[in-house]
Amino acid sequence: MTSPRGVLIVGEHTNGQLGAPTLELLAHGRALATALGEELAIALLGESLGGLPQEAIAYGADKVYAVTDPLLKEAHLDAYLGTLVKACEAHAPRIVLLARTELGRDLGPRLALRLNTALAQDCLEVRLDSDKRLVAVRPVYGGNCTAVVTVASLPMMAAIRPKTAEPLPRNPSRRGQVIQEAAGLAPSVIRTRVLQRVQEAQEGLRLETARVVVAGGRGLGGAEPFHKELQELASVLGAAVGATRAVVDIGWVPYSYQIGLTGKSISPDLYVTVGISGASQHMAGCSGAKVIVAINKDSEAAIFKAARYGVAGDWKKVLPAFTKQLRELL
């Protein structure tokens, strides 16, 4: 086998477009490949790929392994895993990067085990040290601590949190190489069967893409304020409504409202929190927010460490007046 070289990233796409996390991953990968003086390759898997390989090149890839197979129609974990194990064995990359998306989060650890290496999970930053070792920075203990880790075996793998890099500018005249490959998947690699996929309609705006988000915590005291006072604020601001895990666990609002480490990641221009303490596991889901505003009766609450503006007071008094004044302004 040739000695490992280059950076390989695992691409993701939906509806004929590369996902935003994949574009960001191309930027991360480009920086590492350039520092190594080696190539940046991307594996794209699907039933058919259309113009995606060229798109990936426009965003920074040197090489595209375009793997098509009917079994890859959906991003099925087992099928992706089988294909990627083969691709990594065939091309022997030095570094493999995934996005820590729903797919990457579950695929990365299994791929690492199959390739007999280790994976740095949920990284915010990746770089090379002077020995060309991959060094990754990642939050641990729910964000209360930060770890710097490295992988001492090849390929060195990392799963990178979305929204930690800006995609490179799209350059349609960039040239690269597209290599068509067959997955050669035996149907027996597929051990799990998807019987049904159910979309649960979300009320209101999508949290992940909303420009303004308002969210409530246990301090709201019950389900009612979510439908009344918080909803009124959301209507005035044209905002999506979210909540903490404490609130969804009690059942005041559905689980789909949960923002945080194990909930949704948001990156609005404005994030207004009401009765939220600011636990690091919650804050992990809103690090992309430009401005955080907090209403909390405890002036010592951790949320005031992350907020730009705040009122230390009872929301029952503060919120109606806040909403009323906003209505007059907007």
Ligand X SMILES: Cc1cc2nc3c(=O)[nH]c(=O)nc-3n(C[C@H](O)[C@H](O)[C@H](O)COP(=O)(O)OP(=O)(O)OC[C@H]3O[C@@H](n4cnc5c(N)ncnc54)[C@H](O)[C@@H]3O)c2cc1C
Task: Determine the size of the site formed for ligand X (CB under 6 A).
Answer: 29
Amino acid, single-letter form, for residue 319 = L
Residues 289 and 129: their CA atoms lie apart, in Å, by: 31
Which positions from 131 to 150 touch ligand X by CB under 6 A, shown as an x/- string? Answer: -----------x--------
Pairing of strands 63-68, 40-46: parallel
Interface with other proteins, residue 195, by CB under 8 A: yes
Residue 237: CA count within 13 A, CB half-sphere: 25
> Considering only CA atoms, which of 254, 294, 250 is closest in space to residue 275?
294
Q: Which of 275, 286, 293, 306 binds ligand X (CB under 6 A)?
A: 275
Alpha carbon 12 to chain centroid distance? 12
Amino acid, single-letter form, for residue 9 = I
Of residues 129-158, those binding other proteins (CB under 8 A): 135, 139-153
Contact assessment for residue 14 and residue 102, using Cβ atoms and an 8 Å cutoff? no
Q: Which of 279, 286, 292, 306 binds ligand X (CB under 6 A)?
A: 279
Interface with other proteins, residue 209, by CB under 8 A: no
Interface with ligand X, residue 269, by CB under 6 A: no
- DSSP symbols for 170-186: P-TT---EEEEEE----
Tokens 């935003």 label which residue? Answer: 20
**Binding partner at 73 among other proteins, ligand X, none, C-beta below 5 to 8 Å by kind:** none
Q: Which of 65, 80, 226, 315 binds ligand X (CB under 6 A)?
A: 315
Q: Which of 282, 286, 289, 307 binds ligand X (CB under 6 A)?
A: 282
Q: Report residue 42 as tokens.
A: 């991307």
Query: Whole-number minimum distance, CB 144 to other proteins, in Å?
Result: 5
Contact assessment for residue 74 and residue 80, using Cβ atoms and an 8 Å cutoff? no
Query: Whole-number minimum distance, CB 9 to other proteins, in Å?
Result: 19
Contact assessment for residue 322 and residue 306, using Cβ atoms and an 8 Å cutoff? no
Interface with ligand X, residue 218, by CB under 6 A: yes
Q: Which of 13, 28, 161, 245 binds other proteins (CB under 8 A)?
A: 245
Query: Whole-number minimum distance, CB 143 to other proteins, in Å?
Result: 8
Query: Whole-number minimum distance, CB 173 to other proteins, in Å?
Result: 34
Interface with ligand X, residue 231, by CB under 6 A: no
Residues 13 and 49: their CA atoms lie apart, in Å, by: 9
Q: Please give the residue ranges that form the binding site for ligand X (CB under 6 A).
A: 142, 217-219, 244-247, 258-263, 275-277, 279, 281-282, 285, 295-298, 301, 314-316
